[in-house]
Chains A and B, each alone.
Chain A
């Protein structure tokens, strides 16, 4: 059974703090890694699709890196804002199909 783990489970930071979370996955089973941002009562929204070892992607203040050899991805948020409060999910794809295997998510709360 493929297992995707995220840490920490939850994070409480002050506005302006920078933060990062980890997603770990079996390095032997990798096609792609997806990061999603999920606000309460809204649809999960795709942030990044990462496919190559060493990939670095950026969207505004959010960036992500990927290490497929050791099986982890980091998500960074620079200068957190209250609107960044959400659950951040990573999901592994391990074959050519689109089946996503999710981690348990990191719940971020940013206080003004």
Chain B
């Protein structure tokens, strides 16, 4: 069964460093998402992406964040200068359509620890 994969599973970085989190969505999906969960808090939406551009982004997704689909298979989230408060589990998701009726398929997450 097709699945969303994410690498790495755990990333430890120093504050101020850049990190790139990678995701491989399901191959025929067209809509891509990043969510994150800070420990003890709700899963929260970061950004949605379709047709090589951002569809919607949350207040969290400021200029320090960017997303890219560099090669037609990978979908990346870059944090330019990490802060302590960026420590969280980051989830990538994809769906075949972008409307409310289609389930999103999630990856297993990347745990980001900023020291």
Listed in ascending order, the chain A residues whose CB lies under 8 Å from chain B are 4, 31-32, 34, 36, 41-46, 49, 51, 89, 91, 93, 95-105
- Residues on the B chain within 8 Å of A104, using CB: 41-42
Instruction: Add 18 more A-B contacts to A49-B101, A102-B35 (CB < 8 A).
Output: A32-B101, A34-B103, A43-B3, A43-B91, A49-B102, A89-B43, A93-B100, A96-B99, A96-B100, A97-B98, A97-B99, A97-B100, A98-B98, A98-B99, A98-B104, A99-B33, A102-B43, A104-B42
A interface majority secondary structure: loop
Q: How big is chain B's contact interface, by range?
A: 20 to 34
28 interchain pairs, CB-CB under 8 A:
A31-B100, A36-B106, A41-B108, A42-B108, A43-B4, A43-B105, A43-B107, A43-B109, A44-B43, A44-B106, A46-B103, A46-B104, A46-B105, A49-B101, A49-B102, A49-B103, A97-B56, A97-B98, A98-B98, A99-B33, A99-B45, A99-B56, A100-B43, A100-B45, A101-B45, A102-B44, A104-B41, A104-B42
Closest CB in chain A relative to B9 CB, distance in Å: 9
Q: Is the Cβ of B104 less than 8 Å from the Cβ of A43?
A: no
Q: Is the Cβ of A98 less than 8 Å from the Cβ of B42?
A: no
Closest CB in chain B relative to A72 CB, distance in Å: 18
- The residue in chain B whose Cβ has the minimal distance to the Cβ of A33 is B100
Q: A43 with B106: in contact, given A98-B31, A99-B56, A103-B42 (CB under 8 Å)?
A: yes
Neighbour of A44 across the interface among B41, B45, B91, CB < 8 A:
B91
Number of A-B contacts (CB under 8 A): 68
The answer to whether B48 has its CB under 8 Å from any CB of chain A is: yes
- The residue in chain A whose Cβ has the minimal distance to the Cβ of B108 is A43
Which residues 49-106 of B sit at the A interface, judged by CB distance below 8 A?
Answer: 55-56, 91, 95, 98-106
- Residues on the B chain within 8 Å of A51, using CB: 100-101
- Residues on the B chain within 8 Å of A34, using CB: 103-104
Q: Is the Cβ of B102 less than 8 Å from the Cβ of A98?
A: yes
